[in-house]
Amino acid sequence: MEQRRVGDSGLVVSRLGLGTLTWGRDTGEDAARGLLETFVEAGGTLIDTAAAYGAGDAERLLGRLVDEVTSRDEVVLASKAGFVVRRGERVVDTSRRALLRDLDASLRRLGTDHLDLWQVHAWGDAPLEESLSAVDQAVTSGRVRYAGVSNFVGWQTAQAATWQRADPARTTLVSAQVEYSLLARRAEVEVLPALRAFGMGCFPWSPLGRGVLTGQYRVGVPRGSRAATEHFAWFVEPYLEPRSRGVVEAVVRAAEGLDLTPLQVALLWVRDAPGVTAPLLGARTAGQLAPALATEDLTLPPEIASALDDVSGGPNALRHPPTTP
């Protein structure tokens, strides 16, 4: 698999990442092992998890499987901190205490002494400088190699990056995670331009529109799909509306013309969009992952990518920047 640098940093990752949101809950150990084996055999290196995924179960499962399937040094382990569970509810806590506590717990669950990439999972109520001081301590102590943010909007990303660059002793932020797909293009307005300005990489989550762009919901909600589960229905439902259906049909038509699957068309559009480093794939089985990995030698014709831009919200200004007269 092709490898890409994360922004202007020295960190290099595969251009597709493996997400572990469902591990330990919807994805059991056997399925997770199959996913990891398939991903690594294809040349994938970036594996993304978080302290909040399955209340730590995703990290525990990943920690058991990494040394069994591959070598720790052969993968890029990325995790996130800042979501915590209190009295049965998940809340955002980006205080220094909570972030460093999450980090130490993540390292224990993953069975490693360091993370290759550690990300503040969301913008919180704690002062930004306090949250970022935890990032600095994590890197200085050797527990983290590179740092980034997740789910920050454009001005939040720029503020965090500017704060860190104001003092050479602070850790430069190298990446951001944000939802980005043909059904969620808001990142193009501020986040992607901010990342470009600060030399940061982008890891899109839900590049398949929370599964809707695969076409599986065209005639209803299939049994066993995420939308059919009590804990994920809320996540998918926002994209099961008329505007999304129009985008899905355009993806299906493009797939038919290119002899690809809708999943592959939607993924290629994101993978090769300007500013993207590596989309994160949330497949639950190796069978679901295989079509995505089969895109390695494929690209969308420019006219198809532009047509999908048009139908999903308009031209991508980063793909076709305006010319100066």
Given a contact cutoff of 8 angstroms between Cβ atoms, the answer to whether 247 and 213 are in contact is yes
Query: Alpha-carbon torsion 18, 35, 208, 83, what sign?
Result: negative
**Angle (CA) 316 321 325, round 5°:** 145
Catalytic site residue from 53, 146, 180, 217? 53
Q: Going along the chain, which residue ranges are E strands? A: 3-5, 12-14, 17-19, 46-48, 76-81, 83-86, 89-92, 115-120, 144-150, 173-179, 201-205, 280-281
Q: How many angstroms separate the Cα of 33 from the Cα of each of 22, 65, 136?
A: 13, 7, 33
In a 3-state reduction of DSSP, which class is residue 285?
A: coil
The whole-angstrom separation of Cα 38 and Cα 161 is 35
Given a contact cutoff of 8 angstroms between Cβ atoms, the answer to whether 180 and 306 are in contact is no
**Rg, the chain, Cα only:** 19
Q: How many angstroms separate the Cα of 91 from the Cα of each of 67, 88, 98, 124, 134?
A: 32, 10, 11, 9, 18
217 a catalytic residue? no
H/E run at residue 303: helix 302-312
Q: Tokens 């980006």 map to which residue? A: 94
Q: Which residues are catalytic?
A: 53
